[in-house]
Amino acid sequence: MAISPYFADRPAAALAMIDITAAVAIAMLAAWIGFATGAPDRAAATDVRPRVDADVEIPGEPIQPIPLDLAIDLRTAELGRRLFNDPRLSHRGTISCASCHAAEHDFAGDAPATEEPPRRNATLDVPTIRNSWFSIAQFWDGRAATLEAQVDFPLQSPDEMASSWPEVIGRLRADPDYLAAARAIGKEPLSPELVRASIAEYERSVVSSGSRFDAFLRGQGDALSADEKAGYALFKQYGCSACHQGVAVGGNLFQRLGLFGDYFHDRGGPITRADLGRYNVTGDESDRYVFKVPSLREAALLPPYFHDGSVATLEAAIATMARYQLGRKIPADDIRLIAAFLRSLPGTTAEARP
């Protein structure tokens, strides 16, 4: 599978930062899961820096609510929303960011994971951009350190927008509306930096607002049903929250897929370049099959599951995780309860704020 254009740039600085704290994070992880053996030593973990100023800190909980005030610059975010939906960012003027991350599809794609060229990238499941700024890095393999840096990849990838900055900036500068918008926020002349910053600011405004689970965390006991509460308790007891934790219920660690058992052997089919995960970014053998632990905030809404989109239902994804990440079989009733908990996580507000 050739998705090489994607992997051209390496966020070296960000990786260095991540490596420093790896030992600490692995130790924490081992303690949380209670592994007796050395299995987590094989995992490449990273730090759990808080990304936002929390308005509350819920003590003793691995999951924290999404802050209510995100301090978004609304004018910049509105410019970003227009750019995100503008097909002039692609070479042929046919696809925008929203073509793959449509608001009406919860900002995720519904492209089948097996789609053949010219959309070779579709061999990777399209994640939602919602809550993506709470992550330590962008993409399944974390190859973009920030939302700003992420923009360059789809814009320039021959498999996606196949465009270039001179081309894009030339077109946008010919549009009086964009020039006026850049002037209004004091960012003239319209530049690649402004496009990156605006799109990133828009993405930061796209979060799971109104999550019932957050209402529960913030003290509203009746926001969850008894089943959903039981599911959350199981999620913690089984150790899911050792990896899926923090504001985004994930997004703040890198972990190997298949700590117990060989996921890829059992899945069958050829190992694609995308399956190599973080190895494609670092070249380290220990990063083979290592992925960013995905946020589960919107997972209930967004099948199929995993980077390869190989699993169709939430229940099957939970069973797969139990088997390959925790080395155990979870009874069907517990899977049902954990799924009920995961369905309480998504936001209830469909659109982004600006």
Binding stretches for ligand HEC (CB under 6 A): 6, 84, 89, 95, 97, 99-101, 109, 119, 121, 124, 126-127, 129, 132, 135, 138-140, 147, 150-151, 154-155, 160-161, 199, 203, 238-240, 242-244, 255, 257, 259, 291, 293-294, 296, 299, 302, 305-307, 317-318, 321-322, 325-326, 338
The alpha carbon of 139 is separated from its chain's Cα centroid by a whole number of angstroms, namely 6
Could you count the other beta carbons within 10 Å of the beta carbon of residue 335?
A: 20
On whether the CB atoms of residues 25 and 44 are closer than 8 A, the answer is no
Structure tokens belonging to residue 183? 């002037």
201 is catalytic: no
The alpha carbon of 233 is separated from its chain's Cα centroid by a whole number of angstroms, namely 24
Cα 132 to Cα 200: distance, rounded to the nearest angstrom: 10
Q: Which one is catalytic: 78, 160, 203, 228?
A: 160
Cα 62 to Cα 46: distance, rounded to the nearest angstrom: 16
- Residue from 219, 181, 288 nearest 59 by CA: 219
State which residue, 221 or 233, has the beta carbon closest to ligand HEC. 233
The least CB distance from residue 47 to ligand HEC, in Å, is 15
Assign 7 to helix, strand or coil: helix
State which residue, 148 or 214, has the beta carbon closest to ligand HEC. 148
The least CB distance from residue 214 to ligand HEC, in Å, is 18
The least CB distance from residue 78 to ligand HEC, in Å, is 15
State which residue, 25 or 217, has the beta carbon closest to ligand HEC. 25
State which residue, 110 or 177, has the beta carbon closest to ligand HEC. 110
The least CB distance from residue 223 to ligand HEC, in Å, is 20
The least CB distance from residue 57 to ligand HEC, in Å, is 23
State which residue, 44 or 181, has the beta carbon closest to ligand HEC. 44
Rounded to a whole number, what is the distance in angstroms from the first to the last CA of the chain?
38
On whether the CB atoms of residues 344 and 227 are closer than 8 A, the answer is no
Cα 229 to Cα 239: distance, rounded to the nearest angstrom: 16
Cα 73 to Cα 193: distance, rounded to the nearest angstrom: 16
Cα 112 to Cα 158: distance, rounded to the nearest angstrom: 19
The least CB distance from residue 114 to ligand HEC, in Å, is 13
CA distances from 187 to 98, 180, 205 (A): 24, 10, 20
State which residue, 108 or 181, has the beta carbon closest to ligand HEC. 108
Which residues have a catalytic role annotated? Answer: 160
